[in-house]
Amino acid sequence: MFGTCSNYITLRLLGEEPNDEDSPLAKWRAWILSHGGATLVPQWGKIWLSILGVYDWSGNNPIFPELWLAPKFLPFHPGKFWCLTRMVYLPMAYLYGKKFVGPITPTILALREEIYGTCYVKIDWSKARNACAKEDLLCPRTDMQNAVWTSLYRCVEPVLSSWPVNKLRDRALYNLMEHIHYEDENTQYVCICALNKALNMFCCWVENPNSNAFKHHLARIPDFLWLSEDGMKAQVYDGCQSWETAFIIQAFCATDLVNEYIPTIQRAYEFMKHSQLLRNHPGDQSYWHRHRSKGSWTLSSADNGWAVSDTTGEALKAVLLLSNIASNHIGDPIERERLHDAADCLLSYLVGHLGCMFYRWGLLFD
């Protein structure tokens, strides 16, 4: 349901019309209606449709922006979420708090009537909040969970949205935009993945359509696009260049093919040197919910900014293998201190900062 509704709406926004009964759009619409209509899209779909104006915000379970202001020791603080989850729900919480709806165009009004089995103004949004198509339902919620979500929406959300408590929401929204800008600036507007990039870009537009942040976002959209024989496609991530280059280097070294592909190895080595992160992200790492990054490699390139432990391990192995090759073949070797930084970063994931300290002491006495 999520994929079908998303693609149907996208093509409609691009100007396609479902006039012919045999057209793909007509078939998709028939599938959507025969499977219960767009009220059954899962939560992420409900968010996107609400932003567009083809789904009412009251049909969403709350994503409280105020959670980001909660004490960090609480187990449900968003700062404890897995990074991808956190960076997706961060802009979603902002948009939910704003209850933002885009321009209501004739196409949007038409979509409201096309993707639901009943008239748009008669949809029971309270029932739609917990509804999900069986094709999209990976883990059904219990009646208790649905009761909790309903209570949060009916009892907590009205309080947080009313004066003077809504001053707290305003503060939370400001805090969220701080974190969004921090993510954007420290990933050169690539962001951790395509989904949170699109959401962050949209939040920047909502904040100020003419802002430099929004313009910087537009400039990095091509990082996710590539043209194939059957059309343009988008990647979930901005690539896996560092990850794959590390394995390619290891493969050349393991098969004694280095001398046959010296120019390739040279370019690969230069890329690995340029893609290593040479600094930690600025500011208080705990405030921004980040870990150290100095010495690490990302999955893609240095612009991405998100350190990945397994990429760092494989990249470190690759550059160590190349250090055994004469510099006149592959260029200047990577600095020893940068190898130490990579090892420090890996140890910080395994045994914490104390382990890193012991490791560096060992190097001093080596």
Q: Could you list the active site residues?
A: 310
Nearest CA among 232, 235, 167 for reference residue 198: 235
Q: How many beta carbons lie within 10 A of that of residue 13, not counting itself? A: 13
Amino acid at 170: D
Contact 128, 39 (CB under 8 A): yes
Secondary structure of residue 226 in the 3-state scheme: strand
**Strand locations in the chain (E):** 225-228, 231-234
Q: Can you name the residues that pair with 312 across neighbouring β-strands?
A: none
168: Cβ–Cβ under 8 A, 6 or more apart, which residues?
66, 69, 160
Contact 339, 319 (CB under 8 A): yes
**What is the C-alpha to C-alpha distance for residues 21 and 33, in angstroms, rounded to an integer?**
14
What does the buried/exposed string (b/e) look like for 145-161 if buried means 16 or more CB atoms within 10 Å of the residue's CB?
A: eeeebeeebeeebeebe
